[in-house]
Structure 1
Amino acid sequence: MDSVFRKLFFGAIGLFLALPIIVVAGVSVNQKQSLTFPPQGFSLGWYGQIFTDPEWRNALIASLTLAVTSAAVAVAIALPLAWFLWRRIAPWANIFQLLGVAPFTLPPVITALGLLTFWATAGFYGQPWTAAVSHGIFFVTLPLVTLSLGFSSIDRSLVEAAATMGADDRTIFRTVILPLILPYVVSGYAFAFVLSLNEYIVAYMTVGFTMETLPIKIFNALRYGYTPTMASVTILFVATAAVVFGLIARFGDLPKLLGAMSGDDK
Structure 2
Amino acid sequence: MSRLGSKLFMGLVLLFLAGPLIVVAGVSLNGAQQLLFPPRDPSLRWYAELFNQPDWLNAMGNSLLIAFTSAALAVLIAFPLAWFLWRYRVRYGSVLYGLGVAPFTLPPVITALGFLVFWVSVGLYGSIVATIVSHAIFFVTLPLVTITLGLNSIDRQVVEAATTMGADERKVFTTIILPLIRPYLISGYAFAFVLSLNEYIVAYMVSGFTVETLPIKIFNSLRYGYTPVMAVVAVVFMLFAALVFGLIARFGDLPKLLGAWSKD
TM-score greater than 0.5 by the shorter chain: yes
Is structure 2 residue 232 aligned with structure 1 residue 262? no
| Residues 66-105 of structure 1 aligned to structure 2 (within 5 Å) | 66-105=66-105
| Residues 179-218 of structure 1 aligned to structure 2 (within 5 Å) | 179-218=179-218
Q: Which residue of 2 aligns with 1:159?
A: 159
Q: CA deviation at 1:20?
A: 0.8
Q: Is the 8 A contact 1:103 1:138 kept in 2?
A: yes
Which sections of structure 1, spanning at least 5 residues, go unmatched? none
1:52 partner SS: coil
Q: Which residue of 2 aligns with 1:112?
A: 112
| Residues 37-56 of structure 1 aligned to structure 2 (within 5 Å) | 37-56=37-56
Distance 1:139 1:183 in 2: 18
What is the root-mean-square deviation in Å for CA atoms of aligned residues? Answer: 1.1
2:92 partner SS: helix
Aligned-partner residue type, residue 25 of structure 2: A
Q: CA deviation at 1:24?
A: 0.7
Distance 2:200 2:174 in 1: 36
Q: CA deviation at 1:209?
A: 1.5
Distance 2:168 2:116 in 1: 42
Q: CA deviation at 1:222?
A: 0.6
2:51 partner SS: helix
1:262 partner SS: coil
Q: CA deviation at 1:163?
A: 2.0
Q: CA deviation at 1:175?
A: 1.5
Q: Which residue of 2 aligns with 1:235?
A: 235
Q: CA deviation at 1:31?
A: 0.4
Is structure 2 residue 24 aligned with structure 1 residue 24? yes
Aligned-partner residue type, residue 62 of structure 1: N
Distance 2:170 2:136 in 1: 25
Is structure 2 residue 132 aligned with structure 1 residue 132? yes
Q: Which residue of 1 aligns with 2:146?
A: 146
Distance 2:90 2:117 in 1: 34
Q: CA deviation at 1:35?
A: 1.3
Is structure 2 residue 245 aligned with structure 1 residue 245? yes
Q: CA deviation at 1:42?
A: 1.2
2:260 partner SS: coil
Q: Which residue of 2 aligns with 1:12?
A: 12
Distance 2:44 2:260 in 1: 40
Q: CA deviation at 1:40?
A: 0.2
* Identity percentage of aligned residues: 66
Distance 2:263 2:36 in 1: 50
Q: CA deviation at 1:167?
A: 2.8
Q: Which residue of 1 aligns with 2:221?
A: 221
- Measured against aligned partners, the alpha-carbon deviations of 1:134-160 in whole angstroms (never above 9, x if no partner) come to 000000111111111000000112211
Distance 2:167 2:127 in 1: 43
Q: CA deviation at 1:51?
A: 1.4
**TM-score, with length taken from structure 1:** 0.97
Q: Which residue of 1 aligns with 2:61?
A: 61
Aligned-partner residue type, residue 99 of structure 1: L
Which segment drifts farther, 82-91 or 160-169? 160-169
Q: CA deviation at 1:71?
A: 0.5
Aligned-partner residue type, residue 71 of structure 1: A
